[in-house]
Structure 1
Amino acid sequence: MAAYLASATDDGADTSRGIPRRYAWIVFALTFGLLISDYMSRQVLNAVFPLLKAEWALSDSQLGLLSGIVALMVGLLTFPLSLLADRFGRIRSLVLMAVLWSLATLGCALADNYPQMFAARFLVGVGEAAYGSVGIAVVVAVFPRDMRATLAGAFMAGGMFGSVLGMALGGLMAQHFGWRWAFAGMALFGLLLALLYPLIVKEAKIAPQRVNAPACKIARPLHTLYGSRSVIAAYVGSGLQLFVGGTVIVWMPSYLNRYYAMGTDQAGVVAAIIVLCSGIGMILCAMLCDRLGRQRPDRKISLAIGYCLGSCLLLSLAFALPSGTAQLVLICLGMMVAAGTNGPSSAMVANLTHYSVHGTAFATLTLANNLLGLATGPLITGRVSDLIGLHAAFQLVPLISIGAAAVFFIAKRHYHRDMARLDNPHAVEPGAAEELKP
């Protein structure tokens, strides 16, 4: 019973002892910068969709596949690559990933046809596969545990800001210099950061406890990846909610081009503003979770449920309206709330899993995010768009948030019990003794 009550105020192990705060913020800034490069390389494609469609006579399904293949490879490879990074060095792994996705993005600039572009995007996905999961494991390791939702939200917002820069700068560069230079610019930025990162961030400095401590038995830590209902619900709920946000991000430039008659440069800028709203909302929602959940961690889950339902309402209203200012305002508000689940879901995963496998735990979260959301969302929406049009497809997308809210509700029901089991795996839960009697 004592373990159960303690879990109500405990947010998991603190791994930041011995790490200077100033150095921690330097680590965050550089890791955040590489995440921005990651998403710039991924999302620049969306800004040049109209140009590729016209030049190579592509269907929406083919365009959706060019976007979805990156998320699919991230989903398939994030777990094994993150497990290797946890075992053999997170910093070395991050640098190798950044070099690969930057070179692959340069390959996109050199592609002469759809198959070559598809192959280059495939390699972009391989390079980016484990960066988000390993990068966030580095970030949460160097800061106190009561900042996890805020840091996770702020770090993952780097993906939104990278998407903003990728689409805005990509659209401008494509309009004035051609779509090939849009890809080349993103590649050069990533290579520069990849060279700088290992000169400053050292494995021994960011994880002194793990480097100096004897190797732990890995069986039990790995079990925590899937050992509770609430952590599984966190994976699934996060992935379902990203189906909504990821789909809107990918297809918004095309939506603006078709229904607002915007050129690629203007559509890229407006879409970037919408994504920027999403990134700001991600940070604000995460800060609210940490503030309200300081004494009651389960409040994070209640807020995640509210974010899902709020985004469903706002985006459904937005796509029920005709094109115009009111629709764009509601889309911005809906995307601010839609991204709010990233902070609480990441904090739940960190709290419910062992710190020695946090890279792999966030890889599992990334796997769910990509397979349930970022890969399937754009692809399914592209296929539906080919049948009924993009506007009608967008009207269906927000309904997925209702399913995400239901899954987070399951997590809330089991969270305290699962935290107690993690803190004291041999403790008997209240009422369990009676259940075991014949």
Structure 2
Amino acid sequence: MDTSIVIPRRYAWIVFALTFGLLISDYMSRQVLNAVFPLLKSEWTLSDSQLGLLSGIVALMVGLLTFPLSLLADRFGRVKCLVLMAMLWSLATLGCALAENYQQMLVARFLVGVGEAAYGSVGGAVVMAVFPREMRATLSGAFMAGGMFGSVLGIAIGGVIAELFGWRWAFAGMAIFGLVLATIYPMIVREARIAPQRLADAASRAAIKAQRPLRTLYSSRSVLGAYVGSGLQLFVAGTMIVWMPSYLSRYYGMGTDKAATVAAVIMLCGGVGVVACGILCDRFARKRADRKISLAIVYCLGSCLLLSLAFALPVGTTQLVVICLGMMVAAGTNGPTSAMVGNLTHYSVHGTALATLTLANNLLGLASGPLITGKVSDHIGLDAALQLVPLVSIAAAAVLFYAKRHYLDDMVRQQADDNSQTAAMAAAHP
């Protein structure tokens, strides 16, 4: 069942643009920290483990809270929840600018994580609600690319601001941007327009509840494989995003602004890759839905090969080019796995389903990757630690291969369940 057919296409793109803009703000607030790692390390005499925790605490809170907060958003209104989230992470980012020591910064980053916890999943559900099913991999990939583009802007702009005015103003700039967008968003995006059927069919939701659509979050082997495979692959992409500015500063001797700019270019390649990989999946999977998983496996193995080669090369232009190529496919699984989750779960719990995916992405990847890499770096050096990171992609590919074996059968089963629930709703409300 697809509720997006009643949404005018022009309005759908406006909703996408504003939701995408808030996602960019989300990641700008999250990743600006990475641009100022060298300055914080020097000013507060921090270890790589401590720096990794400042980054990882955000992803950890996102992982822990995304499911319950997304469940609340599905029940009480996604637009209202998105605005509250944006306000919280923006104010917490302002708190980072005011932090006087490591402990205060850690608390502020904790609150950033609380604010950002469910934005990706709930925002993704909003995007799914206003576009048709056949565009899911493309739009999910394009939406999640906002994370990459936000990382690019957060690192690049944050690095330049920090070099010119100090690291505190880098955080303050991100906070102001988020607060402005959060004020504009509810003036244009309204729950009654993005989910008219969901609001109109309050009585019908009781019939849906009787069928327990939450079971679809974990009832198939392929959806579980999508969660785990996506999370493991983001161990690689997330680690590169966090540690690249520090790597460039230490091994290329770049200043804060130059390291942030070069790292931003690398992240931009990743963002472009996410969109391109999602488009390829929708195009090649028109006749066979499982082809999107085959491409996701190729993305995993391709990133492993390219990034392993890159960190085996000596520092220089060639290494940077190969890193860029590796990042173009490193996060390419975002679109395919999001589409898999959307196709294998009931539409009424898409926000919660994407929250479950976000939980896996953060606990297995975005939180654990930077933190584990920081700890390993303290023992063997950052360059050696980054040589080991791409090997996790092999495990991600293996899990997605397992999911591919069951995907088509699980799709048929889910579609049959959707049809039976639609019939039950029609019978309950003729």
Is it true that 1:130 corresponds to 2:122 in the alignment? no
Aligned equivalents of 2:399, 2:73: Cα separation in 1: 30
Is the 2:137–2:335 contact (alpha carbons within 8 Å) kept by the matching residues of 1? yes
Partner residue of 2:277 out of 285, 296, 320: 285
Offset, 1:424:
2.2
Which digits, 9 at most, give the CA deviation of each residue in 1:173-202, with x for residues without a partner?
Answer: 000000000000000000000000000000
Aligned-partner Cα distance in 1 for 2:414–2:386: 41
Matched, 1:313 2:305: yes
Within the alignment, does 1:262 sit opposite 2:254 as a pair?
A: yes
Structure 1 residues 205-216: aligned runs within 5 Å: 205-213=193-201, 214-216=204-206
Provide TM-score, normalisation by structure 1.
0.94
- Deviation of 1:209 after TM superposition, in Å, equals 1.3
Aligned to 1:395: 387
SS in 2 for 1:215: helix
Aligned AA for 1:280? V
User: Alignment partner of 2:6: what SS?
Assistant: coil
Question: What residue ranges of structure 1 are gaps of 5+ in the alignment?
Answer: 1-12, 428-438
Of 16, 19, 31, the residue aligned with 1:31 is 19
Matched, 1:196 2:184: yes
Q: Report the secondary structure of 1:294's partner residue.
A: coil
Structure 2: which 5+ residue stretches go unaligned? 420-430
1:223 aligns with 2:211: no
The range that moved more, 80-89 or 217-226, is 217-226
2:43 aligns with 55
Match of 2:328 among 309, 328, 336: 336
2:78 alignment counterpart: 90
Q: Are 2:405 and 1:409 equivalent residues in the alignment? A: no
2:416 alignment partner, one of 420, 424, 429: 424
**Structure 1 residue 295: Cα displacement:** 1.5
Total equivalences in the alignment: 415
Shift of 1:220: 2.3
Matched with 2:225 is 233
| 8 Å contact kept, 2:300–2:394 | yes
**Which one has a larger percent helix, Structure 1 or Structure 2?**
2
Which letter maps to 1:192? Answer: V
Q: CA deviation at 1:14?
A: 2.2
**What is the match of residue 79 of structure 1?**
67
**Percent of pairs identical after alignment?**
79
Are residue 114 (structure 1) and residue 83 (structure 2) matched? no
The answer to whether the Cα contact below 8 Å between 2:346 and 2:418 also exists between their aligned partners in 1 is: no
Following superposition, the deviation at residue 17 of structure 1 comes to: 1.2
Equivalents in 1 of 2:416, 2:185: separation in Å? 39
Q: Distance in 1 between matches of 2:329 and 2:44?
A: 36
Q: Secondary structure, in 3 states, of the residue corresponding to 1:340? A: coil
Shift of 1:249: 0.6
- Show the counterpart of 1:145: 133
The SS at the match of 2:332 is helix
What is residue 241 of structure 2 aligned with on the other side?
249
- Choose which of 106, 129, 154 in structure 2 pairs with 1:166: 154
User: Are residues 1:46 and 2:51 paired?
Assistant: no
